[in-house]
Structure 1
Amino acid sequence: MTLGGGDLAINEIKRTHPHGLTDLCEEGSRLYGNALRTGRIARADVETAPCLMEYALLHPDPDDPNWLRPVPPAIALAQRLNPIEQEISQRRRESIELADAFEPFMHISAQPTATTHSITVLEGLDRINAALDLATSQCQSEMLTVQPSRRRLEHTLAKALERDRPLIERGCRIRTLYQHPARYSPETLAYVAQFADGKVEYRTIDELAERLIICDETVAFIPTRDDGEIALELRHPGLVRYLIKVFEFMWARAVPLSAGAPYETASDGITEVQHSIAKLLVEGHVDEAIARRLGMNVRTCRAHIAKLAHALGSGSRAQLGYLIAQSGILDRDH
């Protein structure tokens, strides 16, 4: 048989017996056991299990080429274990060499090993609330929160009340941003009244992007889905500092909850909210998008648009956009 023929035979074995020695096929196990019990086995009988020859579990009978003799299990095992043990020894030597190579640098690293993850994905309300509870329980100085004006359910407010009360009792400062419609939410006003005597400040603003909670300039929480089922816990100092700057920017533009309502008419006859609506109208937003961004329902939004149109003397939606641009109301300071 040529070398090429031998290769073909081996390939055929691999196709018909695709298994390793540790999971010897049922037929091979049976025939090897029979060969050990009888001392030999006919070559023709092992044609159904060519793996026995491939793994050197049988060898030709020197006295009769038509028969095969079994290799004792102890010898077969030693033959198979020897290269494995050699490889293990080599890997051990390599691991020791790697450890020795890096050992001089282990004590001079400038950056301490991080003890917490910079970004943690929180999936499910239970896990989100547990993380918030832990962060607020550890808060010692100040908590910043951004709460877009979506209707907050009674049990949600009760949970927030339970979480925030210990902060006030510890003397922590809380600053919260709402959207303007929160001024007319009985649930929100009742919640705010619970902390009237604490170090708590509330302001409202026309637009808020999304919910945000920051504790002690060390950890921040932001949602990643509209249903609130997934949130990110951020502990990277750079990210937290950036979010604090965003909060402070909005805080400076917001109106204290105790100040005059943003719906009051200014000297030019346009309220603060109508000014915000005018800006969004000029940008091309439809009523539904404007209402969503300003935290109000569509009916209220359209009522403000009607008042804005009346104040500017507009007879149509197309004319309203033109009059807004010409009136200069978007140029006034707020």
Structure 2
Amino acid sequence: MSVLPSERKEEPRRQGPRSTLGDEERRLYALALDHRAPLSGEELRRLSGLGRATVDAALRRLLSLGLLSVDTESQRLAAVSPDTARLRVLAPAVRELDSMQQELDLARLLYDDLATVYQGSMLRPGRPIALEELHGAEAVRSALTALARDVTDELVVSRPGGAQSGPAPQEPRPVVDDLLARGVRVRSLYQHTARFHRRTVDEVARLTARGAEVRTVSGGFTRLTVFDRRTAVIELPDVPDGAVLVREPSVVAFAHLAFEQVWAGGTVFGTEYDPGVVEETTEQVRETIISLLVDGVEDKVIARRLGISLRTCQRHISEIMRRLGARNRLHAGYLLHRRALTLQGRAAG
């Protein structure tokens, strides 16, 4: 049997992630070590007692690791010490890694230098601040009112919570009528629970009569106002009456896209009583409650996310337990988890 260099080139250098030799490879390597004189492939096959295909595969592996060397003229094989093989095989990779490390170090220096330039530009007097925190209802309302006056195309507002009867700290309500009169598109997003508040319904009726668009969804979302897709005011989580004014285009675009995705799944807020819509939205609210219960969310947190009172939330939970036939909250939790697993199984199928 001959082992030509060309045969080795056809075989990939790395033959898998194995970090040790197989039994056949160890046996052939040991035989080559025991016989100081080079051996042919045929001699190694005979001494090992292994089949030709097994020997061929093992020799290719040993050659790729540099543990055997082959004389191109005699085609005889000799064992190579692991230290020598490591140097021969790994040296090119080590040199390549060193070169890559040098390139990475140079790139870090380049970007560190550019970061200094960037920061200097951002702090230059007269440049608009990309992010600005607003604290307090008056500061938020003043910023919203000032920004709304310059809107020429579109204003979108998302208002989580239930009843929406009065001006909110984060909605430029006094300016909305003027925007609608100027032909600006105004869209507002509420939660389904806002439909069950008479003064909210009356306010929506007034705004929609002037051209505003209002939809509702069952789940929670962030309080947000986007002005002409150029500027956004987003609530600060866990900061009462706090918000952040954003002028960074990529962040504003993301905020507007988030609004559009929720808006697309919303239901038009009709101001006339429609039993079908009431039943549908009530069921969507209960499905949201079920989802939150399965996730282990507490009743008071569910109520806050859906913009309803704790008492109303617990009434919905009682109705859910009645439909499930649950004897208590623990039994309801078991049935809800089983229901969730069943739905997941159907979706996977």
Tell me if both proteins adopt one fold, taking TM over 0.5 as the criterion.
Answer: yes
Matched, 1:207 2:219: yes
* 2:339 counterpart of 1:327: yes
- Given candidates 218, 222, 229, the residue that maps to 1:217 is 229
Q: Distance in 2 between matches of 1:213 and 1:249?
A: 15
Cα separation, partners in 2 of 1:124 and 1:176, compared to 1, 3 Å: same
| 1:264 aligns to 2:276 (yes or no) | no
Q: Return the offset for 1:261.
A: 6.2
- Tell me which residue corresponds to 1:171: 183
Give 1:281 shift.
Answer: 0.7
Confirm or deny: 8 A CA contact 2:135 2:242 kept in the other structure.
yes
CA distance 1:200–1:324, change in 2 (3 Å): same
User: In the alignment, which residue of structure 2 is the partner of 1:133?
Assistant: 145
Following superposition, the deviation at residue 162 of structure 1 comes to: 1.8
1:259-302: CA deviations, max 9, x gaps? 77665169xxx921111111111111121111111111111111
The corresponding residue for 1:285 is: 297
**One-letter code of the match for 1:264?**
E
Structure 1, unpaired ranges of 5+? 1-108
Structure 2 stretches lacking a partner, 5+ long: 1-120
Shift of 1:253: 1.9
User: Using the alignment, how far apart are the partners of 1:309 and 1:137 within structure 2?
Assistant: 49
Q: Confirm whether residue 255 of structure 1 aligns to residue 270 of structure 2.
A: no
Q: Does 1:122 align with 2:122?
A: no
The answer on whether the counterparts of 1:207 and 1:295 sit within 8 Å (CA) in structure 2 is no
Q: How does 1:1-334 map to 2 (within 5 A)?
A: 115-152=127-164, 154=166, 156=168, 160-224=172-236, 226=238, 228-258=240-270, 264=279, 271-327=283-339
Go from structure 1 to structure 2 and tell me whether the alpha carbon gap of 1:115 and 1:122 turns closer, same or farther (over 3 Å shift).
Answer: same
* CA distance 1:153–1:189, shift in 2 (3 Å): closer
Give the C-alpha shift of residue 233 in structure 1: 0.8
| Greater mean alpha carbon deviation, residues 196-205 or residues 112-121 | 112-121
Please say which structure displays the higher CA radius of gyration.
1
Check 1:277–1:198 CA distance in 2 against 1; reply closer, same or farther (3 A cut). same
Contact residue 149 and residue 178 of structure 1 kept, 8 A: yes
Whether the 8 Å CA contact 2:148–2:172 is kept in 1: the answer is no
> Which secondary structure does the structure 2 equivalent of 1:272 belong to?
helix
**Aligned residue identity for 2:180:** I
Check the 8 A contact 1:161/1:191 in 2, yes or no: no
Q: How many residues are treated as equivalent by the alignment?
A: 220
Q: Percent identity?
A: 30
- In the alignment, the residues of structure 2 paired with residue 260 and residue 275 of structure 1 have an alpha-carbon distance, to the nearest angstrom, of 18
Flag the 1:229–1:295 CA change in 2: closer, same or farther, 3 A. Answer: closer
TM-score normalised by the chain length of structure 1? 0.59
Q: Rate the CA distance shift 1:196–1:153 in 2: closer, same or farther, 3 A.
A: closer
TM-score, structure 2 as length reference: 0.56
